[in-house]
Amino acid sequence: MHPPVRLVAIDMDGTLLPTFAQKLSPRVLAAIHAAHDAGIVIAVATGRRYAYTVPILHNLGLPTDMPLITSNGAVLRTLSGDLIHSDYMQAAVASQLCGLLRPFGAVVFTFDRPGRGELVLEDLEQTHGRISLWVEANRNAIEVIKPLEHAFDHGENPIQGMVTGHIHKMRAAEAALKASPLADACGCACTVYPARDLAILDLLPLGVNKATALARLAALLGVDRKETMAIGDNWNDVDMLEWAAQAVVMGNAAVELRTMARTRGWKQAPPNDQDGVAVILERAIRTNARATARV
């Protein structure tokens, strides 16, 4: 039997948020507040960069020191913006990735600077065709640079890279990366959206992922992994789910991921559109309360 939960890391898209929404449901928000009141630390763990994450969580009465694991683990900040830790990609590696991955889809890099130039790419129309909503939401942060290698002429290290396109193309891109010399310097995390035939391959410094960031956060808080829960719905959540002793997969996750969950003893939540995160948090609060009453 697991000890009471003290830390919960929750993925955002497809987990914390309803499908095609940019706002938490009232029940999920209430459950997060109730968890905080019960002494449980709630951390968001997302592939989104920090600036694309914060607007969803602002003005909701959440603690300013709420931890945000962003860019798939590359950056750990509080909701108020205080930096806890970061792992950036080397500019020389990023420059080489441009040539390797350009044939497979739209390549984007993220820099740690506000405003235009935070996101750089070389073909806006190609990117717009695959992830048009993302482009429109981030247009003021996007700078077009051709060729993309010139983005690293001054040696500035990016937070992370991303290549996106059809699912079969991203599988091929992942295979090409792993077969290249760059595999010794760059890891990747794949997020798949089968209904849209879209996949996003996030490019990160080797060994950086949501799990490493969650482990770092737990250590800073003095929380054991047995007291840590992770909730996610996609393949870029797997490392985090494997690290946390109490793993929960969303009911809207891919069949293959839900099958993996059953073989590994992970629990399953209702889908995101049925407030699955709230169901799990409410259950954890009740379980903690019963454990406290027995002491």
- Domains (ranges, CATH) in the chain? 7-86+208-294 (3.40.50.1000), 91-205 (3.30.1240.10)
Query: Binning pLDDT at 50, 70 and 90, where does residue 203 land?
Result: very high
Contact 34, 281 (CB under 8 A): yes
What is the chain's mean pLDDT, rounded?
94
Section 85-111 average pLDDT: 96
Residue 130 in this model has a pLDDT that exceeds 70: no
Residue 129 in this model has a pLDDT that exceeds 90: no
Instruction: Please write the tens of the pLDDT for every residue from 6-59.
Output: 999 999 999 999 998 999 999 999 999 999 999 999 999 999 999 999 999 999
Query: Binning pLDDT at 50, 70 and 90, where does residue 270 land?
Result: very high
Residues paired with 110 in a beta bridge: 119, 160
Residue 295 in this model has a pLDDT that exceeds 70: no
Helix (H, G, I), strand (E, B) or coil at 101: helix
Query: Binning pLDDT at 50, 70 and 90, where does residue 213 land?
Result: very high
Q: What is the pLDDT of residue 293?
A: 79
Q: What is the pLDDT of residue 136?
A: 84
Question: Cα–Cα distance between 161 and 185 in angstroms, integer?
Answer: 13
pTM: 0.91
Question: Cα–Cα distance between 127 and 70 in angstroms, integer?
Answer: 21
Instruction: Please write the tens of the pLDDT for every residue from 11-21.
Output: 999 999 999 89
Q: What is the pLDDT of residue 42?
A: 98
Question: Cα–Cα distance between 93 and 204 in angstroms, integer?
Answer: 10
Residue 128 in this model has a pLDDT that exceeds 60: no
Instruction: Please write the tens of the pLDDT for every residue from 230-240.
Output: 999 999 999 99
Section 50-76 average pLDDT: 96
Residue 1 in this model has a pLDDT that exceeds 70: no
Instruction: Please write the tens of the pLDDT for every residue from 81-92.
Output: 999 999 999 999
**Residue of 36 and 293 predicted with greater confidence:** 36
Rg of the chain's alpha carbons, rounded to an integer? 19
Q: What is the pLDDT of residue 91?
A: 97
Q: DSSP E strands: which ranges in the chain? A: 7-10, 41-45, 67-70, 75-78, 83-86, 106-110, 119-121, 142-144, 160-165, 186-193, 198-205, 228-232, 246-250, 267-269
Instruction: Please write the tens of the pLDDT for every residue from 154-169.
Output: 999 999 999 999 999 9
As given in the structure block, the two tokens for residue 236 are 């870029």
